[in-house]
A and B are shown apart, each in its own frame.
Chain A
Amino acid sequence: MRRSRQKKAAPVSPGQSGPAAAPLWLAGCGLVGLLIAVVVLQWDPRPLPPKISVEGFDPIVAAQITQAVARVSADRSSGEAWGNLAVTLQVHELASEADTCFRWASRLAPREPRWLYLHASLVREGDQSAALELLSQAVKRAGSPIEILSLRFAEALAEAGRLEEARTEFEQLLHRFPNQASALVGLAELDRAQGEPARGRARLSAALNQPTTARRAHLLLATLERQLGNAENAAQAARRAAALPPDTPLADPWIEGTVPFRIGRKAWVDRAQQMLAQGQHGEVDVILNQLLQHYPDAPEAWLLRGRLQFERNDCAGAEMPLRRHLALAPGSVNGHAQLGMVLLCLERYADAIGPLQRCVELKPDFAEAYFNLGFALARSGRGQQAIPAFRQAIRFSPNFIDPHITLADLLMQSGDKTEAASLLERALQLNPADERAKELRRRMVGP
């Protein structure tokens, strides 16, 4: 650098800096000064929002992105506006643009840990160490522990193999939030990794009955018991884990805060499916109303509407949306299958045969549809035609117990006791406690 400057300075020799050169220098200085003044006056150091092409996006999403960009343009020094733009871009899978905006958001809101936390959730997919660093910064910013933030930071440390640091974080979290179940499980995982299974097992007791950790804690308990040489206890814990529903996600206000940003056809459909799986029918109803208002011809919306009614035991109310769905998407396997089920529910067995037959034409390995078809045929008095349908159901899904039993019943009625007995034996291998299979076997053997 120094050499470079000397080179540039060299031409300015005493011979060149005579009286004739002075006005030229003065003019030059004036020009430069003018330029500086222009630059300074024009210069607005606040960042500009990124240029985002919304071409191809769902119009609702495009409008949302445009509005979020406009809010940033209106207040370019607002961390909140930048953060909201970042979240908008993140939920619509514009990761690199979201990354830029999160950086600005966390810089412009220097006391706010939320943007760092959400930024970490974005970059975690590609770069774990970057996510860890962001979480670390968020923890420092937060000052006093925030439950979800401390937990995620501790977990990220553990995942990176920084076990002692993870332990410290988990312990600090427990100090602030005693009996925090996820932290207890996290510590028990560390105990296991560090060769202290007994200590880990002792920690788990408080987490075994918490809805956010029960299943995970039982799974870990199974491992710890096995590590301690208690095979029967391990098997018992594993069986309990298998019988438990999935753990309820821990409340995460920052992630939940991003839900309203998830709008548009795809986001609403995804959300409705998620809520339907969780049995939150009221919320599904609201989402579907919104969806159908904006997209009246979206076949997936009508399918979900039909499914919702079916799950509400309103079979009659489910038929119309499903027929509407099939009118819009005649090749929908799921649509035909759902309509078939609804018609079975309405005891319109003969009507159910058509959609179910179409269903297995479209998806020839659909075991459940074969079973329903067999059931519809049998109830329509076409028992002999039902037999091959039940056989197909078993062929495609050997672990599906119902067709074993129903087919055995049909075969017994037609006098084929040998195959019926074999089917019942397999049904009882699948589930030794199945009362239907036991009853049929009793009937077969006779008094």
Chain B
Amino acid sequence: MTALPHLWRNLLWEIHRPCSRPKPAPRGHHAGTLNLVLCITLGLLLLSVAACQRAPNTSAPTASTPGPHVSSPSWFEDVTDRLGVQFIHQTGVTGNYLVPEQMGSGAALFDFDNDGRLDLYLIQNAGRESSSRNQLFHQEAAGRFRNVSEGSGLDVAGPGMGAAAGDVNNDGWTDLVLTEYGAVRLFLNQAGTGRFREVTGAAGIDNPRWATSAAFLDYDRDGWLDLVIANYLDYDPSQKCSDAKGAPEFCGPHGFPGLSVRLFHNLGGHISATHNPDSPAARFEDVTIPSKLAAFPGPALGVVCADFDGDRWPDIFLADDGKPNRLFVNQRDGTFTEEASQRGLALNALGQTAGNMGIAIGDLDGDGLFDLFVTHLSEEQHALWAQQPRGLFMDRTGTAGLANPSWRGTGFGAVLADFDQDGALDLAFVNGLVKRHAGPGLPPVAAGTQSFWAPYAQRAQLFANRGQGSFYDVSEANPAFCREARVGRGLAVGDLDNDGALDLVMTSVGGPVRIFRNVAPSAGHWLTVRAIDPAHGGRDAYGAELIIQGAPGTQRRWWGLVQPGSSYLCSNDPRVHFGLGPNPGPISIQVRWPEGELELFTDIHVDSHVLLRKGSGRKETQ
């Protein structure tokens, strides 16, 4: 045998090192022990040969350690079947690798008949000629859902993406906007009859591009909800892409220019009311150019409207895929300026762009200022932008413990919500690849997922907040939500069963919708608040900010926003949920209404659903 080079001796030693050395044999057992030693040696040698053919594990500790509560009780159970919701998302004919096929679709949680229970709208993406139509489910008194799609007017087919719910004509009934690849459609609620009437063209809505997320806001504070549409790419369906082997694959966004966001101003305050059923009771004008939004196109996937600079006027934040995010700050004169870079939201901590997709908004550290979480591609890290001071944001992903989770997915829908009522917002998001999974190790794919989409499936993730805005991974402890892989896209949040705990609705490409009921052991008290303005038909006061002050002498505050539009392609429960931890109440809520007025509502008992009417609280000075 030739002498082994130094390196190989080291290698051998390292591989043998874990094995136990044979102990000295007792006297009288010499021959047997020798035999045993020889056999063990032979075995070790053979093992070494095998082991040496495997790659060394040079370095790489695997990802971050699990959180401290991995064995804690699960927070969710899958109740989809029990609730009677049967919906499988369709993308039409697969195999053409058209990018819009893989980007939708979302869902809307809204109470269309004002019975106090959330209903559910689910969107298909199979094209206009398809028999797969969008579905409307009404929640019955017993909590089960009944499919009421037929004849509702919302049972339309198309390349559906997302939805935004809001009362555009201030009649007290929530209307619906549907976004599609190539269109936006407005449906007016016919006074809770379960019927909706499409009024898109007559209402002056024309958005012929690839619309993704949408949201309502009252940007001019005239009391009428305006509509902002996030548009994605100037996509060319004839452009084909392939993987390394030349097999067809979905194209990424980089070869296509981004588009202008569109802003539609609600003219409700400027037109005479009409009771003519043949004419629309909603009218909009496209103010994209005069508002100065047109000057900054981009590939937007997510949108959130909130007051980012503290001037009490709503601003617009857009998550842009592979480009710097945009923040349009309201100039209070009908125009906006783009200030994402100035306010620290355009790029991540390293000054880099990322595949920005879904947006979650909430106050993570109880300082009374909201923060933002934006999902990214699996090769990037998601971003958490903490706000401090008001109007300035800092990428705190690393210090929040989110820089290196146990694994990274391509995130879409995201939600910040206090699932266990401990007073701190937790984080949930869904994942699903945009390129086929390469290599071994596919997680179990959820039943019902079309085989074409299986290689794109990933598990959802759930993180618990330690209380000051730092997180630990509780995905392992939540198998119902996180174990099976889906091509996750939409994630909507709301208290479906009105038990004070937030539930989740997950949509996926080419798979069944899933509803997850919150069964987390409660770690404290809760409150849900519906804030309405009787002067505007009693509709939800989108844009209102709610502040609950913590115990006297503490800086702790709870912040909430009446704004259902966030996550990705979804419209959430418009009520604001607070997990209050051990705070037993009664509490006071300060409401900053969208028009700027401040009111204080006192003596509110916790563990209840509260309705706050504008004008019925105690007015406060600014």
Is A25 in contact with chain B by the CB < 8 A criterion?
Answer: yes
Is A345 in contact with chain B by the CB < 8 A criterion?
Answer: no
Number of interface residues of B (CB under 8 A): 99
Choose one: B31, B46, B292; the contact of A17 (CB below 8 Å): B31
Interface of chain B residues 314 through 369 with chain A (CB within 8 A) = 324, 337-339, 341-344, 346-351
A323–B260 Cα distance when bound, in Å, is 32
Closest CB-CB distance, A20 to chain B, in whole Å?
13
Q: Which 10 A-B pairs have the closest CB atoms?
A: A161-B398, A12-B32, A125-B379, A130-B60, A399-B294, A93-B244, A96-B439, A100-B55, A216-B351, A56-B245
New contact pairs (10) apart from A103-B58, A155-B350, A222-B342, CB-CB < 8 Å: A77-B5, A106-B58, A125-B379, A126-B408, A127-B60, A127-B63, A158-B398, A161-B403, A189-B351, A234-B342
Is B238 in contact with chain A by the CB < 8 A criterion?
Answer: yes
Residues B38 and A365 in contact, CB atoms below 8 Å apart: no
Choose one: B7, B237, B338; the contact of A110 (CB below 8 Å): B7
Closest CB-CB distance, B325 to chain A, in whole Å?
12
Given the known interface contacts A134-B60, A395-B206, the answer about A57 and B245 at a Cβ–Cβ threshold of 8 Å is yes
* Chain A minimum-CB-distance residue to B338: A238
Interface of chain A residues 19 through 70 with chain B (CB within 8 A) = 22, 25, 28-29, 32-33, 35-36, 39-41, 43, 45-48, 56-58, 61
Residues B55 and A47 in contact, CB atoms below 8 Å apart: yes
Number of interface residues of A (CB under 8 A): 101
Residues A129 and B63 in contact, CB atoms below 8 Å apart: yes
Residues A238 and B341 in contact, CB atoms below 8 Å apart: yes
Closest CB-CB distance, B235 to chain A, in whole Å?
9
Residues A128 and B381 in contact, CB atoms below 8 Å apart: yes
Q: Which of B85-93, B268-276, B282-290, B579-587 is found at the contact surface with chain A? A: B282-290
Is A334 in contact with chain B by the CB < 8 A criterion?
Answer: yes
Is A250 in contact with chain B by the CB < 8 A criterion?
Answer: no
List the B side residues contacting A362 at CB < 8 Å. 237-238
Which residues of B are at the interface with A, using a C-beta cutoff of 8 A? Answer: 1, 4-5, 7-8, 11-12, 20, 22-23, 25, 28-29, 31-36, 38-39, 41-42, 45-46, 48-49, 52-53, 55-64, 182, 206, 208-209, 234, 236-239, 242-247, 259-260, 262, 286, 288-290, 292, 294-295, 297, 324, 337-339, 341-344, 346-351, 378-379, 381, 391-392, 394-401, 403-404, 407-408, 438-440
List the B side residues contacting A254 at CB < 8 Å. none
28 A–B contacts, CB within 8 A, in A order: A25-B31, A29-B34, A39-B45, A39-B49, A43-B49, A45-B12, A46-B8, A56-B246, A107-B58, A127-B60, A127-B62, A130-B62, A133-B60, A159-B349, A161-B403, A189-B350, A193-B349, A216-B351, A220-B351, A223-B341, A223-B342, A238-B339, A266-B242, A266-B246, A334-B239, A365-B208, A365-B209, A366-B234
Residues A133 and B236 in contact, CB atoms below 8 Å apart: no
Residues A9 and B36 in contact, CB atoms below 8 Å apart: yes
Residues A9 and B351 in contact, CB atoms below 8 Å apart: no
Residues A5 and B23 in contact, CB atoms below 8 Å apart: yes
A155–B22 Cα distance when bound, in Å, is 48
Closest CB-CB distance, A244 to chain B, in whole Å?
12
List the B side residues contacting A235 at CB < 8 Å. 337, 339, 342
A131–B121 Cα distance when bound, in Å, is 43
List the A side residues contacting B56 at CB < 8 Å. 103-104, 107
A to B contact number (C-beta, < 8 Å): 255
Given the known interface contacts A29-B38, A159-B403, A222-B341, the answer about A40 and B63 at a Cβ–Cβ threshold of 8 Å is no
Is A160 in contact with chain B by the CB < 8 A criterion?
Answer: yes
Residues B378 and A126 in contact, CB atoms below 8 Å apart: yes
List the A side residues contacting B41 at CB < 8 Å. 36
List the A side residues contacting B208 at CB < 8 Å. 365, 395-396
Choose one: A46, A47, A48, A192; the contact of B394 (CB below 8 Å): A192
Residues A40 and B1 in contact, CB atoms below 8 Å apart: yes
Given the known interface contacts A45-B8, A93-B243, the answer about A332 and B349 at a Cβ–Cβ threshold of 8 Å is no
List the B side residues contacting A130 at CB < 8 Å. 59-63
Closest CB-CB distance, A363 to chain B, in whole Å?
6
Closest CB-CB distance, A209 to chain B, in whole Å?
16
